[in-house]
């Protein structure tokens, strides 16, 4: 049941109940709520909550009401943050009050993604650039294989990006080397992660606003969301169990390569609870890293299709530093500042997680004179933070030079300080490697069909994880020498 599936009569009745209970139980607030769209009698701000691309509606609220705006939906208070300053002041400086993470009834409870909260082992695996260094050979080998796939079938770019992201993270998480085509683990994980994005999308499910609906039987009219949740739960369970069983079988046979999972299992007899944590930790590593990387890398190809001058500058730097006789490697990173800037601009220009994951307030708070009650959901509008003209000049332009120091001008804010998330360092490494290798050997340009040049549309999808709209582009080797580099053994 989505917000559009429910009638105004249903909302009205529910709203009346909430309103009457609140009138009886609530006391006068110690301070006003932050400003926001005025609520309707009984139902509050239900009609104001966006279901498609909520970050655009939140941006409009920010322009009208300021960096902190507030709505109330059937008794649930929601605060939206529209600036980095507000996010830092509340989510970082007051983290003891704002660090709780809500478990959404649809995605968290009914589908089961709440189990991916087991992340205590992540920091030593992918929690810093230094921790990622051990996986650099995997990144380089799989990115070289990506070049080969693109060369063979350039019209299937999106599939190649997804395949490579899955290959890298499954090697790290489970020591699994993917099949070249139609890999069952990659296909299963892609399906589950797509369902995650849909099941946790801001404002998409009424049960997230009215948790009591989770107890409604599946056969009740209007409870189709329960059937959807059951099917998505089965997909998720398969995604978690199948690669975990692969690792255990490999270990039993004495042929398991080192991986996140094998390291946690090696030499230990685990209780059922411990095994649950290991299994879901590994699944969290995949679901948190793969889809963000797919979105960012696909956006890179869109950007260089639309902004050919960026491609020329990047290729000139690679030619000067690396030369034509080899592919770039991570050892070149410090010598390629423009390539580094391109990778940063990819993360800024394409907001992978445009509204981040909501926080929940643990106790009542007064912030900047505004009352933030216990239980309030706090949503950072990351998309606007990355497109705020107060922070980034001409934000719709793809301009890597904004991150390069110039005489009399400091670089603009590093977007990686805004792109919160444990998968950041994995995405950062994968994006950098793909940018460097791809530009070293490929020319990317607009497609010409029937004599007409096709300009791709910049239209990100809605969902917790946002992807560029599918587009066409031309990808060709830069030279005979580039072709030879691609065809070398990875």
Question: What is the C-alpha separation between 296 and 313, in angstroms, rounded?
Answer: 20
Q: Tens of pLDDT along 212-250?
A: 888 888 888 888 899 999 999 999 999 999 999 999 999
CA 355 to CA 450: how far, in whole Å? Answer: 40
Summarize the confidence of residues 43-63 as an average pLDDT: 92
Q: For residue range 397-442, what is the model confidence (pLDDT) as tens digits?
A: 999 999 998 887 899 999 987 875 545 667 888 999 999 999 999 9
- Residue 416, burial from CB neighbour count under 10 angstroms (0-12, 13-18, 19+): middle
List of E strands, 30-130? 68-73, 76-81
Q: Which of 392, 461, 379 is nearest to 420 (CA)?
A: 379
pLDDT-based confidence at 3, cuts 50/70/90?
very low
Helical segments of 89-201, H only: 95-98, 122-126, 129-132, 136-152, 157-174, 184-199
Burial class (CB in 10 A: 0-12, 13-18, 19+), 404: middle
Q: Taking 80 as the threshold, does the pLDDT of residue 125 lie above it?
A: no
Q: What is the pTM of this model?
A: 0.86
Question: Cβ(182)–Cβ(73) under 8 Å?
Answer: no
Q: Crossing angle of helices 272-306/184-199, nearest 10°?
A: 80
How confident is the model at residue 211, as a pLDDT? Answer: 84
Would you state the pLDDT for residue 78?
Answer: 94
Q: Spell out the alpha helix ranges (H) of 53-106.
A: 54-65, 84-87, 95-98
pLDDT value, residue 6: 43
Q: Give me the mean pLDDT over the 364-390 stretch.
A: 95
Tell me the mean pLDDT in the region 328-337. 97
Give dist(CA 360, CA 98) in Å, integer: 6
Q: Environment class of residue 203 by beta-carbon count within 10 Å: exposed (0-12), middle (13-18) or buried (19+)?
A: buried
Please state, for a pLDDT cut of 70, what percent of the chain lies above it: 89
Domain-wise residue ranges, the chain: 3-487
Quick one: average pLDDT of 450-465?
Answer: 90
Judged by average pLDDT, the poorest of 71-75, 178-182, 376-380, 422-426 is 422-426
Whether pLDDT at 387 is above 80: yes
Mean pLDDT of 465-472: 92
* pLDDT tens per residue across span 278-304: 888 888 887 766 788 899 999 999 999
DSSP notation for 185-197: HHHHHHHHHHHHH
Closest by alpha carbon to 381, among 416, 356, 348?
A: 356
Q: What is the mean pLDDT of the chain?
A: 88
Element (H, E) at 360: strand 359-360
The winner for highest mean pLDDT among 23-27, 321-325, 465-469 is: 321-325
For 3-487, CATH gives 1.10.630.10
């Amino acid at each position: 049941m989505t917000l559009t599936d429910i009638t105004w009569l249903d909302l009205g009745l529910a709203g009346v109940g909430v309103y009457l209970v609140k009138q009886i139980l609530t006391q006068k607030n110690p301070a006003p709520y932050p400003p926001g769209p005025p609520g309707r009698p009984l139902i509050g701000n239900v009609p104001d909550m966006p279901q498609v691309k909520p970050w655009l509606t939140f941006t409009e609220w920010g322009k009208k009401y300021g960096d902190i705006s507030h709505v109330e939906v059937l008794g649930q208070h929601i605060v939206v943050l529209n600036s980095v300053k507000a996010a830092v002041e509340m989510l970082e400086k007051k983290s003891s009050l704002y660090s709780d993470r809500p478990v959404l009834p649809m995605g968290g409870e009914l589908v089961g993604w709440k189990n991916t909260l087991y992340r205590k082992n992540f920091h030593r695996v992918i929690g810093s650039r230094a921790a990622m260094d051990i996986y650099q050979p995997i990144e380089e080998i799989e990115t070289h294989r990506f070049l080969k796939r693109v060369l063979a079938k350039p019209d299937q770019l999106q599939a190649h990006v997804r395949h490579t992201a899955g290959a890298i993270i499954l090697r790290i998480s489970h020591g699994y080397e993917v099949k070249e085509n139609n890999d069952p683990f990659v296909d299963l994980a892609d399906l589950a992660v797509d369902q995650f994005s849909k099941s946790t999308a801001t404002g998409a499910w009424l049960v997230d606003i009215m948790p009591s609906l989770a107890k409604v039987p599946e056969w009740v009219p209007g409870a189709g969301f329960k059937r959807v949740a059951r099917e998505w739960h089965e997909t998720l369970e398969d995604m978690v169990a199948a690669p975990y069983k692969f690792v255990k079988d490999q270990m039993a046979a004495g042929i398991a390569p080192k991986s996140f999972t094998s390291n946690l299992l090696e030499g230990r007899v685990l209780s059922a609870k411990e095994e649950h944590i290991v299994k879901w930790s590994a699944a969290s590593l995949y679901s948190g890293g793969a889809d963000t990387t797919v979105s960012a890398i696909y956006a890179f190809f869109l950007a260089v299709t639309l902004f050919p001058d960026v491609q020329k500058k990047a290729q000139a730097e690679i030619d000067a530093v690396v030369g034509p006789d080899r592919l770039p490697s991570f050892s070149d990173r410090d010598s390629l500042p423009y390539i580094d800037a391109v990778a940063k601009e990819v993360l800024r220009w394409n907001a992978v997680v445009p509204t981040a994951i909501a926080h929940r307030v643990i106790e009542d708070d007064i912030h900047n004179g505004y009352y933030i009650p216990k239980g309030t959901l706090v949503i950072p509008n990351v998309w606007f933070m990355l497109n705020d003209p107060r922070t980034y000049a001409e934000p719709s332009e793809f301009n890597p030079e904004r991150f390069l120091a110039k005489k009399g001008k400091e670089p603009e804010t590093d977007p990686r300080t805004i792109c919160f998330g444990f998968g950041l360092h994995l995405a950062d490494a994968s994006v950098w490697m793909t940018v460097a290798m791809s530009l070293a050997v490929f020319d990317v340009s607009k497609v010409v069909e029937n004599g007409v040049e096709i300009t791709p549309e910049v239209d990100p999808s809605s969902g917790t994880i946002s992807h560029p709209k599918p587009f066409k582009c031309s990808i060709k080797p830069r030279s005979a020498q580039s072709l030879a580099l691609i065809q070398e053994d990875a």
